[in-house]
Every structure is written in structure tokens, then in C-alpha cells.
Amino acid sequence: MGMTIYSCALALALTLSSPWWLWRLATSERYRAGLRGRLGGVPAELAKAVEGHKTIWLHAVSVGELMAAERLIAELQKTLPGWVIAVSTTTATGQKLAKERLQGSPVFYMPVDFAYSMRRYLRVLQPKLVVLMESELWPRMLTECERSGVPVVVVNARISDRSFPRYLRLRWFWGPLLEKVTLFLAQGDESAERLQKIGVDLHRIRVVGNLKYDRPPEQRSELVEALRTRLPVESELIVCGSTLEGEETEILEAWVRLMSTGHRGVLLIAPRHPERFAAVMRLVGPGVIRASEWLRSPKPLDLADVMVLDTIGNLAAVYQIANVAFIGGSLVPKGGHNPLEAARYGVPVIMGPSYENFREMVEGLKAVEGIYIVENGNLTLALHQAMTRGRAVGRRAREFFDAQSGATERSVGALKDLLEKARVL
């Protein structure tokens, strides 16, 4: 009954929103990309790539989940030679990054969560295992995997502060669906406890740690090398990563105040969503430097310059040379983004008060005094503190990061054990 209600609700939602979708399809290439595959048409190249091979279907919704899964995929390929790890994403940015970084894996768009589309993909892929990253629980997908006898594992599993109350309210719906998941590999004890509270049996939960602590360091990029040699000698580089609407104005105001008090630096703003690049550049105003254009003919930067990072996949590398990092999505009530990309390099990290999406991670950093949290909306003060005495904070953050490693090895071991029990190895 629950699945009937879900399928009808999904169909109704798509029908009612169809004028908006048709408009987006007509005006944006991003929405047309992979449309046939999303609607259930399995790409021929995907079918060819998996033919004759044992396959694992791994789904990572977007860039963050994909980057967390990158090393896991590499280790699975080493552990299971001859197997194919087929990777689906939901967003265009995730699709682009997956194709760039996962040369040994076929990449495709996640189909709409209807029975006919899921059955087609399961019929072609014939996966021995489905791996879902973090909190990607699709009801129809779980149902069709159970019907096909395909085990499902949620890796790097977490339940955010925002979604936890919804799971509790809809436990009547989610309870039976969660029973279809073979194993949850949780990021930490809090996530494990929340999974139990929403109806997951303890024997199907294993705490293995957070894969994001195991990501390999970013290789030097062309942009990083250009910045290294063209930043003013006496300046600092302040990187504001994954910013959302409403944050850039506050950042720029804090930046102007800092420059008026004698600080010297270059500000780099990396909007979270590519469709906002142009809007952020207009907000900065005359003199803004667009990273993609600057990189074609890099010129020395001046003190107080502001650059907008309008490329995909360079932010993590840029953190290597940052003197201070602000992590976006945290000044506005959006739950924040991953602070570890900067913390791993010993960079003093600043976040706003909204960090519930990464609460376990941030609370761990706070416990060792390895992060600055903006208080009373005073971003200027937090930036000043990080710029003047943040070195020790950055060092403690890096030590915390180094102490958390090992989740990838434990996750691969758990997946291999499951495949052995299923007698498919």
C-alpha cells in the first residue's frame, strides 16, 4: 500500500510540475543532459560496458558524495579484478566529475524512481550488489532490488538533523523500506543511533567511520600552480568555498572591513552551484576576476583582488594554498558543507552556525579547538582571528583529520564479506 501511495504521489508531482520541467528542458542544456537515460532508456554504452562482467551499481547523488566514494571505488576495483563498478549520479556536475575521475567505470544518470525504469536498469546491469552513498534511499529502487534478490548497502550512512524528524514522523512508511537494506555502514555512533530510532535493526548497522577522512590529497592543478606564482608576496589567500545565495554579500562586507583595518590578501569565492557564477560576479562588481578567463593568461594579482572560481573540481586543490578557509552553506540555514577538504591541509577553517549536515564532524573539530564558528553574525571577527592566530587551530584540525582514517578499508572489507556470503565471488 505504501509503495502505491508513493508511486501515485511521485507521478502526480511530476505531472503538476511538468510545465516547469518543460520550460527548463527548453531553456537549459543541463536539464536535457541524459534525459533518455533518466526516463528509463538504458544507454547502449552502459549495456556494452557491463556485458559479461560481474557488476556493482554505486549511486552518488552529486559532487560531495562522489568525491567521498572515489577511493572506495578504486579499492573495490583492486579487490575485485574484472568486476565493473557502474556509477550513477543525479546532478550534471556530479556526472561531469565522475567521467573525469572514474576512467575505469561507466557513468550514467540515475533513472527516475519508477518501477519500469528501475527494472530496466536492474535487468541490464544485473548487479551483484547496489551501493548507495550516505542517505540516498529511493523507495522504488529498494523495492525492485528486493524483488530481484540484489543486496543493498548504504555506505557512509548518515541521518542529518534536518531529515531525522521527517524519518521519525514517516516511520510507518520508511520502516518497511529500511528493512529492504541489507547493511548500513554508518559514519559514526550518532548516525547509528538515529538509524536504530527510525527502525533499523542493530544487526544491520556497522559503524565504520567517514569515507571523507580517507580521500586522497588533491593533485596539484593548473590553477593552483598559477596562483602560487602570481599571488602578492605579502598577501594571504582567503578561500570561501561552496557559498550559497545570501552568503556572498556578507563575505564581501566582511572583506571590505578587513581590508580597511590593514589586512592584506586576495579573496577567492567558489559558489556551490554553477548557475550562480554570473550572479556572484555581478555582485562583486567591476574588477572581479573570473578564474577560467584569468587562467588563460594569468597575470600577477594585486592586494585586495577578488576572484570567482567558476570551474568544477578545483576547489579542493585550491584549499592546499589557502591561508584561511570559510566553508559555505553555514551562514544561511542550509546545514553547511564539508570542512575536511580544507582541514586536512592544516588550514584554519571557519563555519557559520548552521552545520547540521556535518554535525558529527564539526563537533569533533570543536572538541579539539580545530575550527572557528562565527558567533553573533560577526564573520569579520572570525576572519581576523583566523588570519592573525589561526596556525595552531589549523594544526589541530589536521591532527584530528589524520586520526580518523580507515573507513575505506573497513567498508571494502564489509562489502567483500557480504559478497562472499552471497557466494558471488
Q: For residues 144 and 152, what is the distance between their CA atoms, to the nearest angstrom?
A: 11
| Residue 310 near residue 277 (C-beta atoms within 8 A) | yes
| Residue 199 near residue 172 (C-beta atoms within 8 A) | no
Q: For residues 170 and 259, what is the distance between their CA atoms, to the nearest angstrom?
A: 50
Question: In three state form, how does the secondary structure of 112-166 look?
Answer: CCCHHHHHHHHHHHCCCEEEEECCCCCHHHHHHHHHHCCCEEEEEECCCCCCHHH
- Determine the straight-line distance between the first and last CA of the chain, rounded to whole angstroms: 36
Half-sphere exposure of residue 339: CA atoms within 13 angstroms, side-chain side: 36
Active site residue 65: yes
Q: For residues 25 and 171, what is the distance between their CA atoms, to the nearest angstrom?
A: 35
| Residue 257 near residue 382 (C-beta atoms within 8 A) | no
Query: What's the grid cell of residue 404?
Result: 580518523
Catalytic site residue from 65, 144, 248, 250: 65
**Residues constituting the chain:** 425
Other CB atoms within a 10 A radius of the CB of residue 287 amount to 9
Q: Compute CA distances 269 → 93, 229, 237, 240, 319, whole Å.
A: 18, 19, 11, 5, 12
Residue type, 304: A
Q: For residues 124 and 48, what is the distance between their CA atoms, to the nearest angstrom?
A: 9
Write out the catalytic residue numbers.
65
